[in-house]
Chain A
Amino acid sequence: MSSLIELKNTSKIFGTGWFSRKTVALRDFSISVNEDEPAITALVGESGSGKTTIARLILGIIPPTTGEVLYRGKAVAQLSRAERRQFRRDVQVIFQDPFEVYNPFYKVDHALHLPVRKAGLASSRDEAVEIIETTLRQVGLNPRDTLGRYPHQLSGGQRQRVMVARALLLNPKLIVADEPVSMVDASLRATILENLRLLNTEFGISIIYITHDLTTAYEISEKIVVLYRGVVAEQGDVVPVVEEPEHPYTQLLIGSIPMPDPDQKWQQGLEVVSPTTDGADDTMNAEYTGCQFADRCPHAMDICQVAAPLYQTAPNRVVSCHLYRETAVV
């Protein structure tokens, strides 16, 4: 097993100045992306859950406060120039907002030619054009309708698919997709998710799909990590986690999803405890060591003053909740 990217017990604390309060964005998080078995892994959580922090750690944009980020077993900060170049090709990103990633003064061609040139993918301009056109077709775009245009002349869906094409150009091993469909209309959402899955099945690319939308995560991913205020609540294969959630937070989350079915109303009797401290400030404080969800949890116990470790409730499944303290700790 060779892992392409590995996060080992990483934590990220912001605001470490003398006067600013420390905010823990991510606590003791580990994940490993295996090159041999490309999979789609969904990171699901509300805002402030740490999902974008994880993306930025994986991409090497920010360093972890503690723990390690490893690329092929080597710390990202210590990569040689050549290794770093390879890292930058192997790990690609698709951002949330397809409106902000383009320079409005350049045609979209620029965003596609630049990586081709920087990575030395083509020896001539004609060859570059050919590679770009092939890639655009692979994501379902017609090069004639796309190339030679300015970003504002494309629809949001087209712009996002050009970004998928840009990521695909470099033949990456891992694509981090940070909320790729949250700014796209419902009718196009399915098409872009289909693109992502194609990247996984056809091109063998691992995908980390970051979202707040559990339904799309359920549709396209194999594995899921449910995050809450910087810690893993529950993690495992997507079908059991979504269909039989074990952590009270996952249960609350799934019970609150509005189903497009008038016969299935918001789960009645589901206890919604309002947080005593609205806003996550207090529990995300570095000194707080209890369970992050305790203040909203209908099952909260005295023991929840101490954060739960990850209990292994099934072969591929871990839950961070004291309700499962009978099972073994990972």
Chain B
Amino acid sequence: MSAETHANGGHSAALDVNDLGVSYYTSSGEIKAADGVSFSIMPGKRMGLVGESGSGKTTTALALMRLIKPPGRITKGSAVIDGIDLLSLSEEEMRTAKLSQIALVPQGAMNSLNPVAKVKNQIIDGLRDHDAQHSASQYRELVTELLDKVGLNRQVGDMYPHELSGGMKQRVTIAIAISMGPKVIIADEPTSALDVVVQRQIMETLAELQDELAAAILLIGHDIGLMAQFVDTLGVMYAGRLVETGTLRQLLSEPKHPYTQMLIDSLPSLERKDRKRGDLRGIPGTAPSLYALPSGCPFHPRCPQAMDICPSEEPLLKVVNDDHVANQGEQQAACLLY
């Protein structure tokens, strides 16, 4: 996808990930949790990353934040923001890059806030770590301003996390994430524990703030419905690889990879286009164990369109655009059908 960056001429991507690999080294051998993941996001754009549990989407997010813990290790690749490769920074340099270059809105806000610290102190912690110049009253002002941006009133600053509802806690994590005006925000299933009404309000807040910062967002999740409401481009992960990328519209209306096709077909929906209520279609089989990946294309044992060649040859991402949607941008799929 770095080709796309160059094709765009003067504009360069906010985040350019190239050939990212993350492996866990266990007694049973090396487990490739993410392998050869490449994508880029332009400033002000939103990309979604979907996949089942174990597909490597959260691993990818953690790798970008340099939060992979032993026995895991980033084995290869680069992730470039503003000409700086995050993956080759020293620990200390990465600490500075966090919040100011790249920030994470974590999954399950209830577990990511410190239960024994007031909200304001948790927000100030991040600010002070980067820039200790301000006076206490300036910090107080900053906190009020940040809380206001995420739609919380200033009293929330003096509260502890347990006094907040799930939606409010998630808003606090967003306030922390945007506190240093990052260029890239990674949101890892930020609303998976919230009900749909709150989910919508939070995603709308996040979208407004992103506009203001002109930041790029990488939204990790499994809810394609939420993706359809929020992102511009979409990547589908399976068994640690990116198997299809493209614009949202391309992937939803003309998915090329059989896995994407089945994933979209399996969605329960209130929409009745070509199927009647209750016509549910699952994907047969189960996601492969990363300990023993099938040879060739990892999806071939579950694929209805598998061919003789699939178990022996590993497909790489290649452009699969149909001509009439070519102007929408590049669509790529890793499937031997193409």
Chain B interface size, under 10 / 10 to 19 / 20 to 34 / 35 or more: 35 or more
Asked whether, in the complex, the Cβ of A219 is within 8 Å of the Cβ of B222, the reply is no
Q: Give the chain B neighbours of A262 by CB distance below 8 A.
A: 228, 248-249, 252
- Spot the interface stretch: B6-14, B25-33, B264-272, B314-322: B264-272
Asked whether, in the complex, the Cβ of A260 is within 8 Å of the Cβ of B199, the reply is no
CA distance A189 to B269 in the complex (A): 13
Asked whether, in the complex, the Cβ of B286 is within 8 Å of the Cβ of A155, the reply is yes
Asked whether, in the complex, the Cβ of A254 is within 8 Å of the Cβ of B270, the reply is yes
- B 157-195 binary contact with A (CB < 8 Å = 1; else 0): 000000011111000000000000000000000000001
Asked whether, in the complex, the Cβ of B269 is within 8 Å of the Cβ of A186, the reply is no
Asked whether, in the complex, the Cβ of A186 is within 8 Å of the Cβ of B267, the reply is yes
Main secondary structure on A side of the interface with B: helix
- Spot the interface stretch: B91-99, B118-126, B130-138, B277-285: B277-285
Asked whether, in the complex, the Cβ of B282 is within 8 Å of the Cβ of A219, the reply is no
CA distance A218 to B277 in the complex (A): 8
B145 at the interface (CB under 8 A from A): no
Task: Please pick, from A194, A260, A266, the residue contacting B264 in the complex, using a CB distance under 8 A.
Answer: A260
Asked whether, in the complex, the Cβ of B195 is within 8 Å of the Cβ of A258, the reply is no
Task: Please pick, from A187, A254, A259, the residue contacting B266 in the complex, using a CB distance under 8 A.
Answer: A187
CA distance A194 to B271 in the complex (A): 18
Asked whether, in the complex, the Cβ of A187 is within 8 Å of the Cβ of B268, the reply is no
Tell me the minimal C-beta distance from A193 to chain B in angstroms: 6
Task: Please pick, from B226, B227, B270, the residue contacting A214 in the complex, using a CB distance under 8 A.
Answer: B270
Asked whether, in the complex, the Cβ of B195 is within 8 Å of the Cβ of A252, the reply is no
Asked whether, in the complex, the Cβ of A189 is within 8 Å of the Cβ of B196, the reply is no
CA distance A96 to B280 in the complex (A): 20
Q: Give the chain A neighbours of B19 by CB distance below 8 A.
A: none
- Spot the interface stretch: A163-171, A272-280, A304-312: A272-280
Tell me the minimal C-beta distance from B238 to chain A in angstroms: 10
- A 117-159 binary contact with B (CB < 8 Å = 1; else 0): 0000000000000000000000000000000000000011110
Task: Please pick, from A186, A215, A258, the residue contacting B263 in the complex, using a CB distance under 8 A.
Answer: A186
Q: Give the chain A neighbours of B312 by CB distance below 8 A.
A: none
- B 263-305 binary contact with A (CB < 8 Å = 1; else 0): 1101111110000011011111011000000000000000000
CA distance A260 to B260 in the complex (A): 13
CA distance A8 to B225 in the complex (A): 38
Task: Please pick, from B201, B270, B286, the residue contacting A158 in the complex, using a CB distance under 8 A.
Answer: B286
A-B pairs with beta carbons under 8 A, tally: 131
Tell me the minimal C-beta distance from B51 to chain A in angstroms: 9
Tell me the minimal C-beta distance from A124 to chain B in angstroms: 33
B2 at the interface (CB under 8 A from A): no
Asked whether, in the complex, the Cβ of A259 is within 8 Å of the Cβ of B271, the reply is yes
Asked whether, in the complex, the Cβ of A188 is within 8 Å of the Cβ of B268, the reply is no
- Residues 228-273 of B at the A interface (beta carbon under 8 Å): 228-230, 248-249, 252, 262-264, 266-271
Asked whether, in the complex, the Cβ of A266 is within 8 Å of the Cβ of B266, the reply is no
- A 185-222 binary contact with B (CB < 8 Å = 1; else 0): 11111111110010000000000000011111011100
Asked whether, in the complex, the Cβ of A219 is within 8 Å of the Cβ of B280, the reply is yes
Task: Please pick, from A46, A158, A189, A193, the residue contacting B195 in the complex, using a CB distance under 8 A.
Answer: A46
CA distance A279 to B164 in the complex (A): 8
B140 at the interface (CB under 8 A from A): no
Tell me the minimal C-beta distance from B226 to chain A in angstroms: 4
- Residues 228-265 of A at the B interface (beta carbon under 8 Å): 239, 242-243, 252-254, 256-262, 264-265
CA distance A186 to B266 in the complex (A): 7
Tell me the minimal C-beta distance from A215 to chain B in angstroms: 4
Give the residue name and chain of the B residue nearest to A215 (CB).
Answer: B268
A47 at the interface (CB under 8 A from B): yes
Q: Give the chain B neighbours of A253 by CB distance below 8 A.
A: 196-197
Q: Give the chain A neighbours of B81 by CB distance below 8 A.
A: none
B114 at the interface (CB under 8 A from A): no
CA distance A328 to B166 in the complex (A): 38
Given A190-B281, A279-B165, 8 more pairs with CB closer than 8 A: A155-B287, A185-B53, A188-B283, A189-B268, A256-B197, A256-B200, A259-B269, A262-B248
- Some 24 contacts from A to B, beta carbons below 8 A apart, are A47-B166, A186-B224, A186-B267, A187-B287, A189-B266, A190-B281, A215-B225, A219-B277, A242-B270, A254-B270, A256-B200, A257-B196, A258-B227, A258-B229, A259-B270, A259-B271, A260-B224, A260-B228, A266-B200, A266-B204, A272-B197, A278-B164, A278-B167, A279-B165
Q: Which 4 A-B pairs have the closest CB atoms?
A: A191-B282, A46-B195, A190-B282, A187-B283
Chain B interfacial positions (CB closer than 8 Å to A): 52-53, 151, 164-168, 195-197, 199-201, 204, 222-230, 248-249, 252, 262-264, 266-271, 277-278, 280-284, 286-287
Chain A interfacial positions (CB closer than 8 Å to B): 46-47, 155-158, 185-194, 197, 212-216, 218-220, 239, 242-243, 252-254, 256-262, 264-266, 272, 274, 278-279
